[in-house]
Amino acid sequence: MKQTFTAIFLLLACVLAAQPSNDDCLGAINIPNVDNYCSDDMEFTNVGATSDPAFPDNCFLNYANGVWFSFTPTEPAVLIQLFSANPFGSLGVPKMALFTGSCNNLIYVECSPGLNAQNDELTVTGLTIGQVYYLFIESQFNEGTFKLCINDFIAPPSPESDCDQAVVLCDKSSFSVQNLNSEGEDDTELDDFQANCLSSEFASAWYKWTCKDPGTLTVTLTPNNYIPGLESDDLDFAVFELPGGLDDCDNKEMIRCMASGENGGCNFNVWQICNGPTGLNLASNDFEEDAGCFQNDPCVGIGTGQGVPPQIDDNFVSAIQMEAGKSYALVVMNFSRSGLGFSINFGGTGTFLGPEPDFDLVTLNDFECDKRIDVTNLSNSLTDSIVAYSWNFGKGALPQIEFGEGPHEILYESFGEKSIALTVESSRGCIVTKIIDIYVEPCCADTSTLDIDLEGQDLICNGIPEGLILAQGISGAPEYSYSINGESFQPSPQFADLPAGTYDITVQDIKGCEITQTITIDEPPPLMINAGPDITVDLGFTGEIFATYSPSTTDVTVSWDPEEGLDCPDSELVDCLNPNVVSPGTTTYTVTIIDAAGCTAQDQITVTTNIIRPLYSPNVITPTTQDLNSVFRLGLGPQAEEIEELCIFDRWGNLIYIERGVIPNDPASGWDGRFGTNDPNSVVEFVNPGVFVWYAKIRFIDGEILSYAGDVTVLR
C-alpha cells in the first residue's frame, strides 16, 4: 500500500543547536552505498529531535522524535536493521518507516513491526533501482543512540513453510527473510526422522534446488538479530536429498541435521560458539549436531556430535558434495520462535540448475541520457522453458518497467550510474535475476535554465559550528543533487553544523547540468570575560574583584560559583561584575556570562586567603573598679565567627565560670570576676584575688575550630 502526502518544512526558522542535523527530511543523512552497510556503534542519535508532520501511514507512528536517512538501492530489495541494546546504543523501542518521493511530497512505502524494546528490522521488496528512499527512525520511549545496518539484495519469492510448496532456488544469490512464524499446513514433515537431531517442525521456511555443476555446497545462515558477542536467535536446519526430483518431498532423505544451541544452566560463554551463524562449511567433519552444545567444559555433560571421540560442536556441519541432476531441499527453523528471520549466503564449487538471464545493450554512440538504447534478450534455459520476463530499468528510465522477451527500446531522462535488472521465471517456478550496471553520460544542453537559490544561517555563537546552508535548485531538469566545496553530491539540500567561512554550493540536475554559487557564513565576535588578576586577602577582611567583558555593548547575565563569601553592594549578585569578597579560605571563583542568544563565556579568579587569627587576652583584671579592666574578655578580629565556649578555672582546677555561643567582642560578654556569672546586678561574691586559668574554643569563618588557653590574675 502506498500513500502520498505533502509537508512544508520551515527549516531555517526552527533549527536549534540541540537538534540532530538529520532532524527533518531535508537534513536526511545520505548513505551512499547500502551493500552490506553498517554504521559504527552509537553513531546515530535522536536525542533532541523534534516532532515531524503527522504523515499518513499504517504504523501508529508518533512522529515525535524521529530522524531521517536517505539511500539509493542498486538491487530491488533491502534489509534494514537497527541495534540499540548496549553497547550498540540506548534507544528505547525503536520503529522505522520507509518513504520515497521527495521531502515535500513523500510516498509511504512500508514500516517495521516495532515490537522489540531495543532492536528493529524492516525488509522491503519491490524497490525501484536507482530511486532515492527516505528512512524515518523514531523511539516509542526514551531517546538515545543506535547502530544502523542496511543491505540491498535480490529477493526470492516469499518463503513457504511446506516442502511441496518450497521456493525453488535457481542460483546461489544471497538473500534475507524478515520473518519465520509458521510451520505450514503440514507440520508432520519431520515425523519420520525421530532418530535424527530434528524430529518436529516449527517456524520454518523450505527451499529446493537441482544441482547443475557438481561440487561442494556451503551455506551460512545468520539470525537477523545476530550481534557478535551477544545471545541471538537459535536457528536449526536440515538438508535433504530428493531422490525423485524437486517434487519428491514424500521420499526425502535427511543428509545433514543441525540443532545445537543453548546449554541450559551454563553461562553463555560456554555455548556461545553454538549461537548465531550456523550452516554447512568445509572445516567441519560431522553430519549432525544435537540440541545443546558439547564443549570441553565442566558445565557440559556428554558430547552431542557424531565424531569418535565425541565431536566438539561449533554450530556447523560438513559441506555437502552435490551431484549433477540431483535435487535437494533445505528447511530452516527458528527454535527461539521470536518471529524474526535470517539471511542466507551460499558458497562452494557446485551450482544450481536454472534459467540463465542475459541481455545486450546497443546504442548508436555512447550511453547518454535522452538517447535511445536497444535492449536485446539473450536468456536461455537448458531444462524447462522460460515463461515470464520482467525488466526493471530503474529510476529515470522510460519506460521504467517492461514485461516480455523483447527487444525493448528505452531511454534515460537522467544521467549517472544505472542498473538494469532482468528477472526470468521458468515453467517449474525457477526465478533468477541478472543485473547489469552501466553509466549514462550527461546530456546538458547549452541552453539549460538551471539556477540555484541559497539561504544561510550564521553562527549563533562564535566558534560553535552551528551554521546552516539550505540550497534550492531552480528550473533546469528536476530532481536535483547538491554538493558543498566539491564533495560528493547528495539528495539533501541542507548542509548543517558548519563553521564560519565561505562555501561553494553546487546544484546538479538530472541532465548533468551544474551551477555553483558562493555563500558566506558569518559569526559574531567572541564573547569574552576577564575576572581580573588573582588577589590575596587576609582572612576575615574584604577584597575587591573587578571583572570585565567584551563586547561591552552586549547585555549579559552574570553568575558566580561558588557564591559563598561574595557580596555586591550595589546590585544583586546575579548581575554583579565587581563583587566584594570575604573569602572563607583560599577559593577559586568561576564567573559565567550569558548573552541574549545563549552564548556563554567563563573565567576564573583565585582569592588566596592569608590565614591570620589575632587574639588578645588580658592578663590582669580588677573586678571592682567598674572600668575597662574590670572584665575578662577575649579580643578577636573579624576572622572569628563565634566563641563556642569560654571556661574559667581556679588554681585547683575547679570550674568557676562557663559561657557558650558568644559573639566575638560582644560588650555584654566576658567574666567579671565572680563565681558563675557576669551579671553586674548579681549578689554573688567576687572571687578572692589570685591567678586563674582560662580555656576558650573558637570557631573561625573558614570553619576551623581552635582551642586556646592562658591565665589571668585577679586583683582587688
pLDDT digits (tens, 9 = 90+) for 573-629: 777 999 999 877 889 999 999 999 999 999 999 999 899 899 999 999 998 777 778
The CATH T-level fold of domain 163-347 is: Jelly Rolls (2.60.120)
pLDDT tens readout for residues 328-338: 999 999 998 88
Q: Mean pLDDT, to the nearest integer, of 315-340?
A: 94
Q: Cis omega (within 30 of 0) on the bond before 309?
A: yes
Delimit the CATH 2.60.40.10 region(s) of the chain.
359-440, 528-610
Using the predicted structure, report yes or no on whether residue 659 has a pLDDT greater than 80: yes
Angle at 593 between CA 589 and CA 594, to 5 degrees: 145
Q: Mean pLDDT, to the nearest integer, of 163-186?
A: 89
Using the predicted structure, report yes or no on whether residue 243 has a pLDDT greater than 80: yes
Q: What is the pLDDT of residue 706?
A: 96
Q: Mean pLDDT, to the nearest integer, of 540-551?
A: 93
Q: What average pLDDT does the structure give for the chain? A: 89
Q: What is the pLDDT of residue 157?
A: 80
Q: What is the pLDDT of residue 115?
A: 65
pLDDT tens readout for residues 460-497: 999 999 999 999 999 999 999 999 999 999 999 999 99
Cβ neighbours for 240, distance < 8 A, ≥ 6 positions apart: 252, 253, 254, 255, 328, 329, 330, 331
* pLDDT band, very low/low/confident/very high, at 360 (cuts 50, 70, 90): very high
Q: Residue 209 has which C-alpha cell?
A: 534446488
Q: Mean pLDDT, to the nearest integer, of 382-391?
A: 90
Higher pLDDT, 57 or 511: 511
Using the predicted structure, report yes or no on whether residue 688 has a pLDDT greater than 70: yes
Left (φ > 0), alpha (ψ -120 to 50) or beta: where does 585 sit?
Answer: left
Using the predicted structure, report yes or no on whether residue 546 has a pLDDT greater than 70: yes
| Beta strands per DSSP E along 116-227 | 119-125, 133-139, 145-153, 167-168, 175-179, 204-210, 215-223
Using the predicted structure, report yes or no on whether residue 303 has a pLDDT greater than 50: no
Delimit the CATH 2.60.120.380 region(s) of the chain.
3-153, 163-347
Cβ neighbours for 217, distance < 8 A, ≥ 6 positions apart: 280, 319, 320, 321, 322, 328, 346, 347, 348, 350
| Beta strands per DSSP E along 314-415 | 316-318, 320-322, 327-334, 340-347, 359-362, 372-377, 386-392, 397-398, 401-403, 408-412
**Domain 528-610, CATH:** 2.60.40.10
In CATH, which superfamily holds the domain spanning 359-440?
Immunoglobulins (2.60.40.10)
Q: What is the pLDDT of residue 299?
A: 77
Q: What is the pLDDT of residue 14?
A: 40
Higher pLDDT, 619 or 553: 619
**Domain 3-153, CATH:** 2.60.120.380
Using the predicted structure, report yes or no on whether residue 1 has a pLDDT greater than 70: no
Total-model pTM: 0.71
Other CB atoms closer than 10 Å to residue 68's CB: what's the count? 23
Delimit the CATH 2.60.40.1080 region(s) of the chain.
451-521
Q: Mean pLDDT, to the nearest integer, of 432-439?
A: 94
Report which of 19, 34, 23, 9 is spatially closest to residue 102, judged by C-alpha positions. Answer: 9
Q: Mean pLDDT, to the nearest integer, of 673-682?
A: 72
Q: Which CATH class is domain 615-714?
A: mainly beta
Q: In whole angstroms, what is the distance from residue 130 CA to residue 416 CA?
A: 10
Other CB atoms closer than 10 Å to residue 283's CB: what's the count? 9
Q: What is the pLDDT of residue 464?
A: 94
- Of 330-339, 359-368, 510-519, 669-678, the range with the highest mean pLDDT is 510-519
Higher pLDDT, 557 or 6: 557
End-to-end CA distance of the chain: 112
The CATH T-level fold of domain 451-521 is: Immunoglobulin-like (2.60.40)
Q: Mean pLDDT, to the nearest integer, of 403-427?
A: 95
* pLDDT band, very low/low/confident/very high, at 140 (cuts 50, 70, 90): confident
Q: What is the pLDDT of residue 358?
A: 97
Other CB atoms closer than 10 Å to residue 368's CB: what's the count? 18
